[in-house]
Amino acid sequence: MPPQIYHHKPARPHHSSLTIPCENSQCNRWFRSVSGLKKHVRSCHVSAPSHPLPPEHPALSPPAENELESNFEPFDGQDEQENPLSNEPLEDQAQCEIEYHPFLDGRPCDENGNFLPPGAKPVLPETPSTNDWSPYRDRVEFETAELIYKKVQMSGGDINALVDLWRASFIKNGLADEDVPFANKDDLYRVIDSTSSSDMPWESFSLSYNGKLPEEDPSEWMKQEFDVWFRSSLAIIQNMLSNRDFCGETNFMPYRKFSKKGEREYKDFMSGEWAWKQADKISVDPTTHGSSFVPVILGSDKTTVSVATGQNEYYPVYISIGNVHNNVRRAHRNAVALLGFLAIPKTEKKYANDVKFRKFRRQLFHTSLARILQYLKPGMLVPEVLRCADMHFRRVIYGIGPYIADYPEQALLACIVQGWCPRCIAWPNNLDGEGGRRSEDHTEVLANFLSPVVLWDQYGIVSDIVPFTHDFPRADIHEILAPDLLHQVIKGTFKDHLVTWVEDYLHLTYSKKRADEISDDIDRQIAAVPSFPGLQRFPQGRGFKQWTGDDSKALMKVYLPAIEGHVPPDIIRTFQAFLDFCYLVRHDTHSDSTIQKVQDVVKDFHHSRTIFETLGVRPTGFSLPRQHSLQHYPWLIQMFGSPNGLCSRFEALGQMLLINQRLDKLAVSRVDFTARGMLSGTLDTRVEHHNTEDNNNGDSGPVPGPLTPGYVKPSVRRLRQYSTNCHKLSVQLNQPRLVELLRRFLYSQAHMNDHVAPSAFNIPLHQCPMFNPRVVATHSAVAYFYAPSDCSGIGGMRQETIRATPLWQKHAACYDCAFVERDPSIPGIRGLDVVRIFAFLSFSHDNTTYPCALIQWFSHILDEPDELTGLWKVQPDTNDDGSPSLEIIHLDCIFRSAHLMPVFSDYGHQFIPSDIDFTNSLDKFPTFYINKYIDHHAFGLSQG
């Protein structure tokens, strides 16, 4: 009789809520199980190492912050008077000097504008009950709305389907179907729209041609009305100033900072000279004394969006304020907002160059901006009382600040002829020659004495257009045009000019066949660049048509070594000077010294680029507005601080009008509920509170939260395919010397502070300690380090994954390189070594856990960077028998990833073999460049 088989229905798991909090007071995570909590603690709250640490390298991690005295007593853990040095860990900060503006010093006041005595507490608004979730019924309803609309971005149809399923589930379980959070998509939208905290409805106005129409066949644009959509600039700025997320990250007064060497330093916007000079002009009126100056930053970027019906052009205008710190603006965090959409008049081709149409198009642009910003005009003359992020009231006075735009738009803004500079009056056929600064006063004087034709021909002035700044006090369009690194420098000068000129050189110098072969080899070299966290790869080289700004930035990191050997040395020098410029200006903080370096590399660039003229690539020279803009950067940095926080490219365009408004309302509700302590419990599942371990699928990215000491954290995931027996593990890793190297590592650790003891590799193995053979191997570690010039968190911290795996993404091995500290007294790369990592290991000995790495050393070939490329050269160390020089080092010795690029020119004039790609190029070449252009932090190390 066959055995009876019973078919059991598998038990369904019950929902497990987040009920277990992390015991770390600074952590907001909650967990469903004790095991989840333990894993989180192991991965995110690592205890300080128990073994001696090497001294901190001055170039590797920032010194402690200086606690400057505040003019006001702290409130709720924050200085009431914002400290301009918060989140700015500079060396010897205690010895720097800060000079605040004597009159516009941002003194707190009451709601009637009466100044408060020093140390007075803010008058707090009447706080709603902690049970008041208006316009939502409860917390579940709010977080459901946030999840569906903001995080998942669910379509209306899917929302209705979800609600139907939800209602059916409630009915099935005997619950009232009216308890479902929302009735349908319309109910969800209505609740979000009813949020009152951020009520900035969209408004519109129409403009049309008001000139005399032709008697016959007037063009369509003359009869058309053009709609301009916008939101209240005043309401947006009020929300930014009062956003409690920005408390501690806002400057309410201009300031001048001087280092211990007496050098002026420029970082956030209010540290620049322009804000100080504006405060001087405002403070001529004594009734403004004690106020806060609020510079209004504008930006626009005409964008083409492809939809099913074809190409649609939008002209979004963005707004921010100069008071928030650069790190906040880079991270956005509601510090940049969509202000409006300008109209884009179109006409038939036969009218495209019509004088009347071109004038109308220009004037429409300026009139629209003036109308949009009219809400701010009264507050530019008479201070308004507003509540700020620290809950104090202040008297604020507005001013039109920097406008960020690409060159064609700058010409439109400045009312100049295309080809002229919007900032100076240098001749268009010699833009880098002598030329004084433009100003609206100068233009007005010229217009009183010269004809429009002379103004156009001799000064490049479009005299029949009035710039929008003419309507606002203290505003000069020529003075406020801000640098645009992405469009003018990276996409314009690098990709559209220099890279194109290299291709032109090849086709001028060689036959078409040979030029194409060289170009293909350059593409193969670019494709063979070793991988690196966050680096975009070009598997087919540059062979695609649609180039974005991100594509250009990625190519810029790897292009120079790829063309070496294929182009004359002066072309290499041209690229070196230009790339150095790009990375220098993006420094988080500038000083008189770094500004001088910027001026020097611009001169080097101008000198080296003449090779393109000599070779016939640029027979007409280099009078190009985008390249000319480089020489204005030193002055612009002095005026506006580091351009690291300014860009005309913002991400808000992904959602339009009503969608953007709803996202703003959700964000404001979250800030409000968080400030009232209503989101601190187990339902707080927002993405912002997740730690970096949860986001470890990404190779690199910003680390949220404040500044912390840098460290390297090994993966906590044990790999089951590896034995924990060190002898078996050595076989699996194909490292026969693993046990020997581990014993020599223990000897080195035991004699770390014994300067008389011989090296671990100069003693017999039997003198090295024996150890427990249990060793755990992992494939990765995460480095956390301070990199404020790169994409980083509010505290300037960044993370990147370092990999050592025999199979990455089911493709090939990936053994990354890293920087290791050699001499902490020597700054930058000179005090660092480069290693390649073949395994991450961890084991215990004498009650101490040792996280470590199996590495191969690289040695510097020269004591200085390569003269031609400016890059350091290294080569892998080998033993006498040619085998790799391996060692095991403590994980605390590792600083961060290093990117090596093969010296492709080692092949001479031969092309690299087709079997070389990004997975094996580190194994195929004898020498490598340390790529200082891989990111801004690496570039900073190269300057040490």
668 and 622, same structural domain? Answer: no
Write out the E strands in 125-209.
Answer: 203-208
618 has a pLDDT exceeding 70: yes
Q: Which of 373, 405, 437 is the last residue of a domain?
A: 405
For the segment 44-49, the average pLDDT, to the nearest whole number, is 44
Residues 749 and 890 in one domain: yes
User: Do residues 774 and 881 both lie within one domain?
Assistant: yes
In a domain, 466, yes or no: no
Distance CA 944, CA 709 (A): 20
Ramachandran class of 376: left when φ > 0, alpha when ψ lies in -120 to 50, beta otherwise: alpha
Is residue 820 domain-shared with residue 854, that is, in the same domain? yes
Residue 572 CB partners (closer than 8 Å, separation 6+): 560, 563, 564, 868, 869
* Per-residue pLDDT at 665 exceeds 80: no
Is the CB of residue 881 less than 8 Å from the CB of residue 902?
no
Angle at 754 between CA 748 and CA 755, to 5 degrees: 105
pTM of the model: 0.82
pLDDT score of 30: 59
Do you know the residue count of the chain? 944
Give the pLDDT of residue 64: 35
When pLDDT is averaged across residues 627-638 and rounded to a whole number, the result is 96
The single residue listed with the structure tokens 């003229």 is 613
Q: Is 297 exposed, middle or buried (0-12, 13-18, 19+ CB in 10 A)?
A: buried
860 close to 877: Cβ distance less than 8 angstroms: no
pLDDT (tens digit, 9 = 90+) per residue, 920-934?
999 999 999 999 999
Structural domain contains residue 459: no
**What are the residues facing 711 on neighbouring strands?**
784
pLDDT over 70 (residue 824): yes
Looking at residue 492, the DSSP 8-state letter turns out to be I
What tens digit of pLDDT does each residue of 700-745 get? 888 877 788 888 998 877 788 889 899 999 999 999 999 999 999 9
Whether 2 is covered by a domain: the verdict is no
How does pLDDT run across 30-42, given as a tens digit for each residue?
A: 555 666 666 555 5
pLDDT one-digit tens code per residue, 360-388: 999 999 999 999 999 999 999 999 999 99
pLDDT at residue number 196: 67
The reply to whether 803 falls in a domain is yes
* Residues 268 and 645 sit within 8 Å (Cβ to Cβ): yes
pLDDT at 459: 96
Residue among 796, 648, 672 nearest 320 (CA) = 648
190, 125: one domain: no
Q: Cβ(195)–Cβ(135) under 8 Å?
A: yes
Domain identity same for 812 and 668: no
Residues 181 and 272 grouped into a single domain:
no
- pLDDT per position as a tens digit, 449-499: 999 999 999 999 999 998 999 989 999 999 999 988 888 899 899 999 999
Note whether 337 and 318 are within 8 A (CB). Answer: yes
Which of 382, 405, 428 is the last residue in one of the domains? 405
CA pair distance 65, 75, nearest whole angstrom: 20
Q: Are residues 670 and 685 in contact, defined by beta-carbon separation less than 8 angstroms? A: no
- Domain boundary (405, 423, 452) is at 405
pLDDT classification of 51: cutoffs 50, 70, 90: very low
In a domain, 324, yes or no: yes
Distance CA 780, CA 853 (A): 10
- pLDDT tier for residue 631 given thresholds of 50, 70 and 90: very high
* pLDDT, position 551: 85
SS3 content of the chain, % helix, strand, coil (to 5): 35, 20, 45
Mean pLDDT, all residues of the chain: 83
Is residue 676's pLDDT more than 80?
no
Q: What is the mean pLDDT of residues 542-547?
A: 59
CA separation, residue 171 to residues 143, 157, 168, 177, 920 (Å):
22, 21, 5, 6, 61
Kindly give, in sequence order, each residue whose CB lies less than 8 Å from that of residue 880, ignoring residues fewer than 6 positions away: none
Determine, yes or no, domain membership for 209: yes
In this structure, are 759 and 876 located in the same domain? Answer: yes
Higher-confidence residue: 676 or 878?
A: 878
- H or E segment to which residue 675 belongs: helix 657-675
Per residue in 163-180, pLDDT (tens digit) is 888 888 878 777 766 778
Task: Give the closest residue to 786 by CA, choosing from 266, 56, 62, 65.
Answer: 62
- Before 135, cis peptide (omega within 30)? yes
Q: What is the pLDDT of residue 181?
A: 84
> For residue range 119-133, what is the model confidence (pLDDT) as tens digits?
899 877 776 666 777
How many independent structural domains does the chain possess?
4
- Do the Cβ atoms of 299 and 317 come closer than 8 Å? yes
Please check whether residues 623 and 500 belong to one and the same domain: yes
Report the largest interatomic distance among the alpha carbons of the chain, rounded to a whole angstrom. Answer: 116
The answer to whether residues 563 and 666 belong to one domain is no
Count the Cβ atoms, other than its own, within 10 Å of residue 714.
Answer: 20
Give the confidence band of 185 by pLDDT, cuts at 50, 70, 90.
Answer: confident
Read off the tokens for 496. 């559209």
Residue 929 CB coordination number (10 Å): 23
Residue type for position 533: P
- Residue 172: how many other CB atoms lie within 10 Å: 8
Q: Looking at residues 110-127, what average pLDDT do you find?
A: 88
Question: Could you tell me the pLDDT band of residue 199, with boundaries at 50, 70 and 90?
Answer: low
What pLDDT sits at residue 149?
Answer: 80
Rounded to whole angstroms, how far apart are CA atoms 6 and 284?
Answer: 92
Task: Identify the residue with better confidence: 645 or 685.
Answer: 645
Q: Where does the pLDDT of residue 689 fall: very low under 50, low under 70, confident under 90, or very high at 90 and above? A: very low
Nearest to 773 by CA among 747, 748, 731, 739: 739
Return the structure tokens found at 253. 């007064």
Do 772 and 837 belong to one domain?
yes
Q: Which residue has the higher pLDDT, 279 or 308?
A: 279
pLDDT (0 to 100) of residue 68: 30
Q: Give which of 567, 581, 577, 458 is closest to 509, Cα–Cα.
A: 567
Cα dihedral 768, 772, 777, 783 in deg (nearest 10): -60
Between CA 373 and CA 385 the distance in angstroms is 19
**Region of poorest pLDDT, from 545-549, 585-589, 854-858:** 545-549
Residue 832 within a domain? yes
Q: What is the mean pLDDT of residues 523-552?
A: 80
pLDDT computed for residue 215 by the predictor: 80
Helix H or strand E encompassing 844: strand 832-845
Residue at token pair 């420094």: 587
- pLDDT of the residue at 308: 38
**Domain identity same for 510 and 625:** yes
Choice between 823 and 275, residue whose per-residue pLDDT is larger: 275
pLDDT given at position 257: 96
d(CA 590, CA 584): 9
137: confidence class by pLDDT, cuts 50, 70, 90 = confident
Name every residue whose Cβ is closer than 8 Å to that of residue 353 and which is 6 or more positions away in sequence: none
E-only strand ranges, 209-263: 225-230, 255-258
pLDDT at residue 777 is higher than 90: yes
Q: How confident is the model at residue 654 (pLDDT cuts 50, 70, 90)?
A: very low
Q: Is pLDDT larger for residue 679 or for residue 579?
A: 579
Query: For residue 262, what are the domain limits?
Result: 99-129+198-405
Question: Residue 70: inside a domain, yes or no?
Answer: no
For 791-810, write each residue's pLDDT tens digit: 888 888 999 999 999 887 77
Q: In the numeric block, which tokens belong to residue 71? A: 């003019």
* Torsion angle defined by CA atoms of residues 631, 637, 640 and 643, in that order, rounded to the nearest 10 degrees: 90
> Where is pLDDT greater, at 117 or 675?
117
- Which ranges constitute the DSSP H helices of 243-389? 273-282, 326-330, 355-372
Query: Does the pLDDT value for residue 443 go beyond 60?
Result: yes
